[in-house]
A and B are shown apart, each in its own frame.
Chain A
């Protein structure tokens, strides 16, 4: 029931959104809203909507924070995770969701991404990964595939791309997953699990940018780009049943990392107890 969801969780006064026709970001924003709705409605979780804070940086992705009807803060380029870290440490009871993009979180904000992952602080980071800097008109990003064209790669991109989920996992993230704009149900579930996870979670969601990335690289329109995701990105149940040969050229949609490790703000509470016990001696 998308219309009900819009009235409940979107700031309809501020819609329609600024994203181009065919952009995948609206789908991903909806996935986040559905995941939150499920957790609010779940009697065992009983997530308090008033305790949810949505944090974003700068770029196409980051406009999502302003459309979502929660406490929201649209910060500076690359710094969403750093702002979110301050929010979470100051008030650990808050459920802090970071909405960011491939450039925002893995280029200008890469340092904050890896260190938040290393600390295992309980943030949920959802990347709207469209392989391009869309807001500024189509420059290559850290996830633009090698050889692809961009306004700043007129002879083809010679950079090697990041896999953001693997980058976060390498930095110590205790929950990492990959979703896509096409795989709505799977992605929503991964975001829900990421929010539930006690520790740093990152869900790298492949968006589509037909306007700047798709057109320049002859990927077709939004439908063709979503079709590519359908054909090349495979949900876990099916992916793990495939042979190594079949997996070639295919990407997992599902969880990449899921481990238990002490969460930062919980450890901080213990640190305060230790400091106060020592001072009291």
Chain B
């Protein structure tokens, strides 16, 4: 397949990218502004021999995705605000039982039913802490339709590699944006396959992890292995344990499989940052307005650049820290009341002023507002 230029919506790019990544099972429940993802999956998956199912609710969708994944099929669900809340318990099951899958949240204004199709980025902290208990999280957030296509593939790759649910944190701005996209040829894409090999031969313990490794490699169900998966704390054989030592070692490994691979997982876009004295930190659908404001600020002689986490969880702490010494101030711009702001403050507030520009009334932040805020900050 060669390169192809098409006009596409963010939600459609999410589906096409996911199919290119090998997604062959989708379970979902209708909710705006993610609905087009389900609709497009209903059209496209059967064409490629995959399965789409509209489940009875959000909880069932998340459960069905995990069920499909344990049979070795790459699986995805998509939702928005209220649905993301409903998926949280089973999302935690996926973290503990180490079941790969991708959960798309096309954020909308909340809490509760909120402003159903209005833009917001209020689920940033929920993506990190939504399910109960300490757990590992990888969350990626695309800023354009083009990036949605490539990044959803990366979401599947990371999910398969680290055997953990990956949250794809879209927002209404990117989900409903329609723009020209160049679809890469299949030969340009890197597609990860799940490792299913450690316990070949003598060691049949499904959660066995060799020394120095963090990710188990159990085979899919239906291949005669006869192993057990549970949401209880378990030992390497997959069976429940009452041992605090064994449970503690499991929880530690789950966190370390992410914490010890940050360089592989974290991606950041830096724009005009090398000589900047002001960095604007943003993510997802806010990015375009920020870049536009930066271009105008530069034209006015202001030294402004952008620091955009593409991997929004884990927060790219080391990358931001490495930039602080050259900066005089940071502006965080988000469509919420200040969520990534808390992470930036944690990393940078002792060293330089961290200001915030947010909006949570369901409207978008225009570049002019960002420019004005930058001018005020420069005093």
Residues of A in contact with B (beta carbons under 8 Å apart): 11, 14, 49-51, 53, 55, 65-66, 69-76, 78-79, 82-91, 93-94, 111-112, 114-115, 268, 271-272, 274-276, 279
Contacts and interface: CB of A to CB of B under 8 A. Distances in A.
Contacts of B47: 275-276, 279
Given A89-B53, A276-B46, A74 B226 contact: no
A196 to B, nearest CB: 19
A111 B222 contact: no
B64 A83 contact: yes
Chain B: interface size category = 35 or more
Contacts of B225: 50, 71
19 contacts: A14-B239, A65-B228, A66-B239, A71-B221, A71-B222, A73-B70, A74-B229, A76-B63, A78-B59, A79-B63, A82-B55, A82-B59, A82-B63, A83-B64, A86-B68, A86-B69, A111-B57, A111-B60, A275-B47
Most chain B CB neighbours (cut-off 10 Å) among A50, A76, A93: A76
Interface string B48-72: 0101010111011101111111110
Contacts of A83: 63-64, 66-67
A50 B46 contact: no
Given A50-B226, A73-B70, A90-B75, 18 more contacts: A11-B228, A49-B224, A50-B224, A71-B222, A73-B228, A73-B229, A76-B90, A79-B90, A85-B60, A86-B69, A87-B70, A90-B25, A91-B221, A91-B222, A112-B60, A114-B56, A115-B55, A276-B49
A51 B69 CA distance: 16
Most chain A CB neighbours (cut-off 10 Å) among B57, B61, B68: B68
A266 to B, nearest CB: 13
A210 to B, nearest CB: 25
Nearest to B227: A71
Contact of A272 (B46, B69, B75, B221): B46
A94 B227 CA distance: 15
Contacts of A115: 55-56, 60
Contacts of B89: 76
Nearest to B46: A275
B223 interface: yes
Contacts of A86: 25, 27, 53, 63-69, 75
Most chain A CB neighbours (cut-off 10 Å) among B60, B229, B240: B60
Contacts of A82: 55, 59-61, 63-64, 67
A66 B73 CA distance: 23
B46 A90 contact: no
Nearest to A121: B53
A231 to B, nearest CB: 38
Contacts of A89: 25, 51, 53, 64, 68
Contacts of A51: 222
B220 to A, nearest CB: 8
A182 B289 CA distance: 70
Interface string B204-248: 000000000000000001111111111110000001100000000
B46 A85 contact: no
Contacts of B230: 66, 73-74
Nearest to B57: A111
B93 interface: yes
A83 B71 CA distance: 11
A115 B65 CA distance: 16
A75 B231 contact: yes
Contacts of A75: 63, 66, 93, 231
Nearest to B97: A73
Interface in B239-259: 239-240
A187 to B, nearest CB: 24
Contacts of B67: 55, 73, 82-88, 90
Contacts of B232: 74
A120 to B, nearest CB: 13
Interface in B79-133: 89-90, 93
B68 A74 contact: no
Interface string B141-163: 00000000000000000000000
Contacts of B61: 82
B147 to A, nearest CB: 27
A161 B24 CA distance: 41
Nearest to A111: B56
Contact of A90 (B73, B228, B229): B73
Most chain B CB neighbours (cut-off 10 Å) among A82, A88, A274, A276: A82
Contacts of B231: 74-76
A87 B68 contact: yes
